[in-house]
Every structure is written in structure tokens, then in C-alpha cells.
Structure 1
Amino acid sequence: MSQTIVIKIGTSSLTIPETGSLALSTIATLVETLTNLRQKGYNIILVSSGAVGVGCGRLGISKRPQNLNQKQAIAAVGQGRLIRIYDDLFNNLGQPIAQILLTRHDFKERSSYVNASNTFRALLDLGVIPVVNENDTVATDELKFGDNDTLSALVASLVDADWLFLLTDVDKLYSADPRLVPSATPIDLVARHELSNLDIDVGDSGTNWGTGGMVTKITAARIATGAGVTTVITNGKNPTNILDILAGRAIGTRFEPQPRPENARKRWIINGLVSKGKIYLDNGATKAICEQGKSLLSAGILAIEGDFNSADAVDLYAPDNLPVARGIVNYSSNELQLIKGKKSQKIYEILGYEGAQTVIHRDNLVVID
């Protein structure tokens, strides 16, 4: 079976920092590399930033705008130009591409999520390379991914990818920001048990033209590896690194994946949905969920945080304040405030109607390893 690779390239790799104009030689090398991989039998998905940067260049704007409406307008100018460049370069090599623009809504709604997965699969079966970006022109703050690192990780989970490559402006992850700390040491491998507790000073800002930084890449690595996807951070100015890494060379920083979740619905719950609140559990409920695969009952709830409705996703926390699971609730936050700590048999008496016996059914629960 063909391996599926998601490649995310950031604005810092696509543009010349001093001017914000496109680094055409880098893009051409990227296109040639991805076409080569496609010809070798790999399924390829490219998640590309750059629409706002290209739009700024077309409009003579020297600095990335901060206003949402202005960014959306400029992205509309730049997206057409960006996809045309990709189409021209890929077409010269005989490789068809498709443009896919996504918002958080496409992952939040189950039907949209499944439809997006089917569309990607159909394109890959046709030998097409999808070129993905956030739909900046219509996304509101609530429906935005925030950065394309997160988007690429969610796409990797969606398509059940084998690899996620995060191409950026540094060669790998360091113990601190090497631009600020000359003594920072490189990190070649992050083992699966190390990522959840990874706590290093990596800085939190991207370039003048980008939106991400190393923090967003670590977040993306957590999402992707949690879905069983091997993730690599490497220098985007050298796209041929992808070929070398696939051939076994130790380039960049590699994040070991967790065991791949078999249940597609549970991958959607943990990666597709946005948590709307928190539920704090007692020791008995924590053990029942994490060790015994049980549903969450109202009796095991200590406290509620946030304002959410029935069928929203929430995160579950153990008494030591560590997150242990995510699930889809059968009750709103207001209802849970009334029935928390109470036995299921008391729900009708308290609420005045017959509700679900479980707060979160085990089929709608995903334990965080």
C-alpha cells in the first residue's frame, strides 16, 4: 500500500525575508521533489502558506497586516497568484494538482469531516497532489486554525498519513531559540514518551511574513504523532531533504509517533473537534475511564469549567489537574452543574426529564496517552 506524505511549507521558506517576494527557486525545487515522490508511488499532499505574503507583494504592502478583514482581502489577492505559480510549475512536469481551502468548520462537523476525507482519497487515487491552505477569505476567528502547522497536522490525521514534514526556516528543533541563545543544542529525535512533557524555550513568534513559530510546530507534532503520524521538522530551503529522510538519513528533528488509533471516529474527536470546556474527575472516574474503558457518569464529576452545550467536545481532567481524555457530552454545562456528583438514578429527579444515563458514553471518549 502506498505511503501518504503531508508536507507543510511555511511563508518563511516560500519568501525572501527582506522583501516578502516569492523564493521561486525554492518553490521550483519543492515542486520537483514532490513530483519525484509522486512518481515513486507516494501519495502527496502539500499544505502551503504564503497567500497573504503574495497578496502583500502584489499590492505593494511592506508589512503583514494585523486586521482580520484586511488580511482576508489580501489573502484573496494572493491565493490566486500562489496557486497559479504552483499549477504552472507542476504542469511543466506533467503533475496535476488541486486546490483545497479549508476552515475549522470542515473538521468540526462530522459530515464535513468525512466528506473532506473522501475528497482527499479520491484525488490521491487519481494521482493528483492536493494543495491545501486555510480559507482565509471567509474564516472567522472562531473557525480559524490559527496557523498552517496546526492545519497540516489535522490534515495528516484526517487522511491517515504516514509522514508529516514541517518545512521551516531552521534545520531542526533546538533546546532554545538559537537566534537568541548561541549555546542552544540541536535535538535529533523526540521519543513518543517525551513529547507530552517537552518543555523548552523555543520562542513563540514566526517571521515578519508568517504566523507560526516553533511552538506551533511542536503543537502540530503532538497532534500528528498522537494520530500515529511520524513527524519531521527540517529546513524548507532544502526540500530535497525529504528524499534523504525517507531514505533513512538523520536530518532535522524526528518525532516518534504514538500507536495509530484504529477508530476513525475517535481520531475525529481528539483532533477534529475543538474543546468547549473542562470536566474535573474524581479518582474513581479517572480510573474507570483510563484503565477500564468505562463511560463517564455524573457521580464521578467534581467540577465543571466553561460554557458548553450537549454534543460539544470537552476535556476531562484527573484530580492532579492533568488532562486524561476528551469526549462528546450528553449534557450542557448548566445541566452538569446540577447533576455533578449525583448518581445517575437522580438525574430525572433533578432535571425533571429523562436524560442519558451517561455524561459521556465510552464510544464518544478518547483517552489521552
Structure 2
Amino acid sequence: MSDDTSTDDPSSSIDTKEEDPNLEATDVDEVGTANTMRERSGETKLKVWLFLEGNRLVVTGLLGLLVFGAFVFGGTFFYQYLLTDALTADTVETVFSTMIAAIITGVTLTLTISQIVISQENGPLGDQHQRMSDTMDFREYTEQIIGSPTPADPSAFLRALILETKEYGRQLRETVVESDDEALRGEVAEFSESLIGNADAAAEKLEGRSFGDYDVLSAALDFNYSWKIYQVERIADDHQDVLPSETADVLGELKTVLSMFGPAREHVKTLYFQWELISLSQNILYLSVPALIVAGFVTTYLGGSSLVGETLGVSNLVWVVSGSFATTSLPFLLLISYVARIATVAKRTLDIGPFILRDSQY
């Protein structure tokens, strides 16, 4: 994620390391980082799956089952109250009449979101020309860095930049082999090993992926470029008196590639957000039709007195009301699942560049 990780300002470690001898040792120990965002953040696999990795439709279905189960449980233990209200106070009809209004409001909100996303693509010819010019300038500069035509596919584009950093990581390690400074060799070796391992993991995850798949953005988030930029700057500053000129040159080139990866990732993230919001709008529209039909059917035709008897020890009224409420809740639950992912990614990528806003090296 944006490489938004530590609650401490990275630059302060350079200013204060002479006052605190333990700080430099801490920085050296943290030169290398884990290869995935989840490992660096310390989050559980379940939490990461629910908020990020899991298919949004599957997550929505699980939330729907949770709502259904909660209603069945509540209806089973409080059945007499539900039955009395259903027969005398038209509770069922009132609940689903409210759901009809909520569904219609939700669809209206969805259409508003779609219009906002689409409006960002509209503009006069001059603005469109400037967007195209900026894009081509960035691609041409990237071509100079990677030494080959810039890939058109977003995943291949990010992969090319990541593999370029891996190559500089190898070169960096080779430039200090004959250095007499043991501390420099140790830090460079650890940093290069971490960089190469992280690049391999991210590149493998990106290979063959198509845009629109969250795995593309996930792999880009796994590559913590901000922490690497900071380490490049720190190594160059800490060892400037003994740094070989070849090593300094490689560090400069590596910093350039990492700095190019930042805006590239942010651009892909922006496109992904737009893609997700449009997909959210489409899916909510699809789910709203059956949800509206179920809510309308229950309100118009289904009375509490018409549902007598039990199935599997649970009142038929509880089964029907629980299933109907879970179904009519699906558009809202889908909104929750999509917004959870978008908000989580946005929070973890608030800044671009070597600013780290969380307690791990993103």
C-alpha cells in the first residue's frame, strides 16, 4: 500500500541516529522486509480475504447467509413475539415496505456513483489531448528506463518496472563485493536480497494477469517501493564517505526506477477504482430487480396468518421472513463488500513516495 507504514518519520532516523546508537542498528535490521502486504501488516488471512482478496460476490453471499442465520436464530428463540406481531400488527408488511423504499434509494445512489465516475472521462478536446500527451511522455520515459517498448497491458507494464528494479538490485550487490566497509556490504547485501525476493514474488503474481482482476493491484501493493526508496536514500547518506562511485550510480538509477513505479501504480489503482465502481453499479442494478420482486411479493401477497406449521423444527414464517429479508438486503451487502475493499486500499495508499504512514514497511 502506499507505502504508508511507519508512524515515525523516516527522515528523523537520519537526524537522530548519532544521538541514539540503538536506532541505527534498528534501521539495519529492518532493511529487508516480507514479500507480501499481509505479512508486513501482520493481518490474518481471513481478514485480508474478507476485505481485499475474496471475490466480492462470494463475500456478499456470505454476508447474506450471516443475515439469514441471524434472523433464523432470532426467530427461533423469539418466535412467539414474531408470530403475535405478524398476525396483529402487520410487522412483516411494514418491514418489507421499508425495504422497497431502501432498494429504490440504493439504486438511485448507484446511478449517481456511475455518473460521477463517467463524468471524469468527459472533457473538452484540449483536456483530452493533454491527458494523452502526459501518458505518452510517461511511456517514453519508461521505455528509456527498461530498454524496450513499454507494454500496453497494465500488469505487464508494472511487471517490467519491477523486474528492472530486480536487475539493479543484482548490480548493486556486485558493486560492493570488493568494498572494505563491512557495514556497507552487509546492508547492501540484505537490501538487495530483500529487493530481489520482493520483485520475484510480485512479478510472478503479475504474470499473465488481466486488468480488472484484483490480483494485479494486489501484486503492485505487495511491492513496497516507498520503503525501498527510503532505504536507497539512507544507504547513500550513511555511507557517503566510503560509497564507491559505481554503487552511487546504481543507487541513483534504482531510485529513479522506484520513483517511476510509484505514479505507475497509482495510475493503475485509479483505473481499478473506476472499474470497481462501475462493476458495483452494474451488480447492484442486477440484484435490485429480484430483491424488489421479493419485497413486493411479501408485502402484497404474504400475510403472517398464511404461514402455518414448521420445517426442521423452525416455523415456516421464520424461514420465509429470514430468506426474504436476506435476499432484499443483498444490494446493500454488495455495496458493503465493494466499499470495504476500495476503502482499505485507499487508506493504505494515501500518499505517494517515501512517506510511510503505518507501523510496517509497506
Please state which structure has a larger fraction of its residues in strand: 1
Relative contact order (alpha carbons < 8 A, sep ≥ 6): 1 or 2 greater? 2
Give the alignment's TM-score, normalised by structure 1. 0.22
Give the alignment's TM-score, normalised by structure 2. 0.23
